[in-house]
Structure 1
């Protein structure tokens, strides 16, 4: 017996599969709800009255090539389990779309808070907010200090020519999602290609590292890093540039982006960069390019989401304003390149 399923999840098919795929079948009827806040892969809390799991599947409708790879996320979670980078334990990978209507994976439920709201985070007080921001950078530094080969992730990415290949890929993704004029987007892509920096030694990347992609426990520790759909092996400064971009743009466009970084006490972008540089020993003098690249990449991601929204392919709320964010990211990318 199952309850009414949320959009994008066939609970009957899931229950039938879990009855044989798990070491012990679910203890009772399955219930599920969609986690709000995600704008790409769909994430659900699944319960049987005794146990809780989290299920991830690709979005509905228009799906960009090479994106939303469930096997990739499942693999990196398994590799990171037990390291200094906390992640949910993966439980099951199902690549057959016949089970629930799309490939998916199941992972353990980790309790914690994903901070998106500045007022809620500010309630912790400035010292705790600052300490959490520092832990965010420390966890990123720990991730970039891991040896991908030693984790069993040999071949997980192609570090040689990484930035050039990434620019080409995201340019193609933009072309695949074109439904309107985007002034400055193609020019930003050309400027990034013309000023490509040399990369430091490669590292395992998260690909979308920011405060609201981690869960924080009751003692302000990072309990889990989530949303590994863009993870790969490549230039570690791409992760730092993205974190800086999110932090800066949250301050500029309050209300349009996750605004937890606005809470008093959260480290300013300059402190985030300094702490990362001190802990990692990497040269961050050219970070403006990476911040611009992060802006371009997120503009493309958001344009893809806007494309799906205009065609009825999104599930949940808050998608109506995604389209207006894209020009802001494009503009900030140009500004970052200009230093």
Structure 2
């Protein structure tokens, strides 16, 4: 979308509830539209996502959280760049509309993208239509889209400089160790041991691809007619690196932490018909030709990374710096993730 230019400031008052981090008057002035209304899209645990409309056009807006932004995280320009680059590939992504780096508008950089049909499946009660056959098909499609992403040549889509593949895994362990220190506010038994184990046993990267960084069922939009994945969302941690990091983290999300109403899996993959994590790994290996023998390390790293991410969210929540439902429960998940990471690093199930 070419950004429209206003001929005069927008002075009409939009019909909207209180939306922290989203000043609709300033946004309307920036876009040159009439009054805007908006709503927070629930479910995100990091960046804030809103649905915005002027009554005719509809967009989705992404911006960083309201406070304690971790270094190198929440980069709106990176998200906007990668979805723009993937627009003509087999990977389904929303159309990028506008990147705004002027922090005078919303207090932080943000971008707009088209609103794509579909729903992010997080809870069982969203899926009364989902039969075991649907679940099996969706499992396969989720794996196939990931394999399609990893098959994209970064040079061909203008992402050759999107990351530094050499030393990627070593830097990832170090990076998330630093993020942990930035968010550390309480005792977390075992997390330092897990970090040290990972750092001492980094595998050799066999292949370099575009890496999503947070690939899971509730980061894609699903349509029912036809049953398909209409878009992959939340590209804030995308880079160039080892694709098995995506696969290991997907296994972590798929199996969860084994607590009631597990917010890691959202309980959807436990419905009848969904593939096991082992079956998904097998399909990925067949689809991509990748060697997955070292996946245990990547899974352990996925547990560590997710533990650090959730601890950062807990840190922000305790300081009133994030919005949305469910944040009061995030902090209880860090230690179960650490325990499962230690088990995975030791080769246990």
Q: Which of the five TM-score ranges fits, normalised by the shorter chain?
A: over 0.9
Helix, strand or coil: the match of 1:98? helix
State yes or no: 1:277 paired with 2:290.
no
> Within the alignment, does 1:265 sit opposite 2:278 as a pair?
no
Offset of 1:7 from its aligned partner?
Answer: 1.1
Partner Cα distance (2:90, 2:214) in 1: 18
CA–CA distance in structure 2, aligned partners of residues 135 and 253 of structure 1: 27
Q: Which runs of 5+ in 1 are unaligned?
A: 20-25
**Corresponding residue number in structure 2 for 1:22:** none
Q: Distance in 2 between matches of 1:82 and 1:260?
A: 30
**Displaced runs of 4 or more, over 2 A:** 118-123
Kept in 2, the 8 Å contact 1:122–1:264? The answer is no
Whole-angstrom CA distance in 1 between matches of 2:249 and 2:41: 23
Instruction: For residue 117 of structure 1, report the CA deviation from its aligned partner.
Output: 1.3
The residue number in structure 1 matching 2:248 is: 241
Distance, in Å, in 2 between the alignment partners of 1:117 and 1:264 is 14
**What is the RMSD computed on CA atoms of the aligned residues?**
1.0
Q: 1:152 aligns with which of 153, 158, 164?
A: 158
- Equivalent pair of 2:38/2:51 in contact (CA under 8 Å): yes
**Cα offsets for 1:234-280 (capped at 9, x unmatched):** 00000000111111116x22413211111110110000000000111
84, 90, 98: which one aligns with 1:92? 98
**C-alpha displacement of 1:47:** 0.7
Q: Deviations over 1:193-251 (max 9, x none)?
A: 1111111110001100000000011211100000000100000000000111111116x
TM-score, with length taken from structure 1 = 0.96
Query: Shift in Å at residue 297 of structure 1?
Result: 0.4
CA displacement at 1:119 relative to structure 2: 4.3
Taking the TM superposition and a 5 Å limit, the aligned residue runs for 1:207-218 are: 207-218=213-224
| 1:39 CA drift (Å) | 0.7
The corresponding residue for 1:7 is 20
Alignment correspondent of 1:337: 345
| Residue in 2 that maps onto 1:229 | 236
**Deviation string, structure 1 residues 134-189 (Cα, Å, up to 9, x no partner):** 00000000000000111101110110000001111100000000110111011100
Question: Which structure 2 residue ranges, 5 or more long, are not aligned?
Answer: 1-11
Q: What TM-score do you get using the length of structure 2 for normalisation?
A: 0.93
Equivalent residue number for residue 297 of structure 1: 305
- On the 8 A contact 2:256/2:262 being kept in 1, the answer is no
Q: What's the secondary structure of 1:222's corresponding residue? A: strand
User: How many correspondences in the alignment?
Assistant: 331
- CA displacement 1:120-145 (0-9 Å, x = unmatched): 33631100111011000000000000
Q: Give the 5 Å matches for 1:1-339.
A: 1=12, 2-4=14-16, 5-19=18-32, 26=33, 28-121=34-127, 123-218=129-224, 219-249=226-256, 252-257=258-263, 258-339=266-347
